[in-house]
Amino acid sequence: MTPGIRPLIAGNWKMNGLSADIGELEAMAEAAFGGADALICVPATLMTRAHVALEGKLQLGGQDCHTAAAGAHTGDVSAEMLADAGATHVLVGHSERRTDHGETDGIVADKAEAAWRAGLTAVICIGETKAEREGGKTLSVLSRQIPGSVPKEAKAKNTVIAYEPVWAIGTGLTPTVEDVAEAHAHIRKELETLLGEEAGKMRILYGGSVKPGNATELLSIEHVDGALVGGASLKAVDFLAIAAACPV
């Protein structure tokens, strides 16, 4: 945690979720999030129903957006469409988008600007691969990804950074407390170089195999201002247990 920053617990449902799962969102909306803000990023197909189910108690996010507001881009969704459906946030540059869709740092930065254009907060995802970690390149990868993916105009009110080591996503593996602390301190320093004072107010989330059992430890690390949760956000009971790990 960083003094003065209210934590954000964010869920990413990825390509999961059918009508039958709306009850999980309703159960989340019944809970109290005393110590944190809460956000759920659902697939585009569920956006409108999720907006109703969440009753404004949790914020709603998309998982990606096109750089354009509208046009001939079959299968894509714009930030304006997400905002129209009730979203307040959108993930950009998730490692699965970078890998599956060849998204570069430059594309991610353009998507962050598209999010702002539509009035959304951009959750900009960064993180090293297993090979990069094993090659001792974690910090240099972050030093490249931050100025590449985060536009210089980023403000704490419209931007969240999510550090997700690719090798920790969906694997049950997490970096050590020391490694998370080192990465987050480095991210804060790189943000300061890029954004100046604004960097001190910006949330830096940790993502990658966050579960109820490790949330307290991860969320107590300096400069960890919340979590981006994949698998454990699909069930209200797990997501709420992670949110409850934030001190009120």
Ligand X SMILES: O=C(CO)COP(=O)(O)O
Q: Closest CB to ligand X among 79 and 242? A: 242
| Interface map 75-114 toward ligand X (x if CB under 6 A) | -------------------x--------------------
Q: Closest CB to ligand X among 116 and 206? A: 206
Selected catalytic residue, list 66, 164, 190, 223: 164
Q: Closest CB to ligand X among 12 and 159? A: 12
Minimum distance of ligand X from residue 74's CB (angstroms) = 25
Tell me if residue 132 is catalytic. no
211's torsion region: left (phi>0), alpha (psi -120 to 50) or beta?
beta
Q: Does 234 bind ligand X (CB under 6 A)?
A: no
Give the pair of three-digit tokens for residue 27: 């159960």
Residue choice 7, 8, 9, 12 for contact with ligand X (CB under 6 A): 12
| Interface map 159-198 toward ligand X (x if CB under 6 A) | -----x----xx----------------------------
Q: Answer whether 239's CB lies under 8 Å from 232's CB.
A: yes
Minimum distance of ligand X from residue 194's CB (angstroms) = 23
Instruction: Dihedral sign for Cα 233, 3, 123, 183, please.
Output: negative
Considering only residues 192 to 231 of the shown chain, the ones binding ligand X according to CB under 6 A are 207-210, 228-231
Q: Does 63 bind ligand X (CB under 6 A)?
A: no
**Is residue 170 part of an annotated ligand binding site?**
yes
> Any residues with CB less than 8 A from the CB of 182 and at least 6 apart, and which?
139
Give the pair of three-digit tokens for residue 227: 């979590």
Q: Answer whether 163's CB lies under 8 Å from 181's CB.
A: no
Give the pair of three-digit tokens for residue 223: 């400069």
Which residue blocks in 9-126 are alpha helix, DSSP H? Answer: 22-30, 47-54, 79-84, 95-100, 105-117
Tell me if residue 94 is catalytic. yes
**Is residue 14 part of an annotated ligand binding site?**
yes
Alpha-carbon torsion angle 219, 27, 18, 81, nearest 10: -70
Give the pair of three-digit tokens for residue 19: 């009508």
**Is residue 12 part of an annotated ligand binding site?**
yes
Q: Closest CB to ligand X among 16 and 68? A: 16
* Secondary element (H or E) of residue 161: strand 159-163
Q: How many residues interact with ligand X (rule CB under 6 A)?
A: 14
Residues that bind ligand X (CB under 6 A): 12, 94, 164, 169-170, 207-210, 228-232
Question: Which residues are tagged catalytic?
Answer: 94, 164
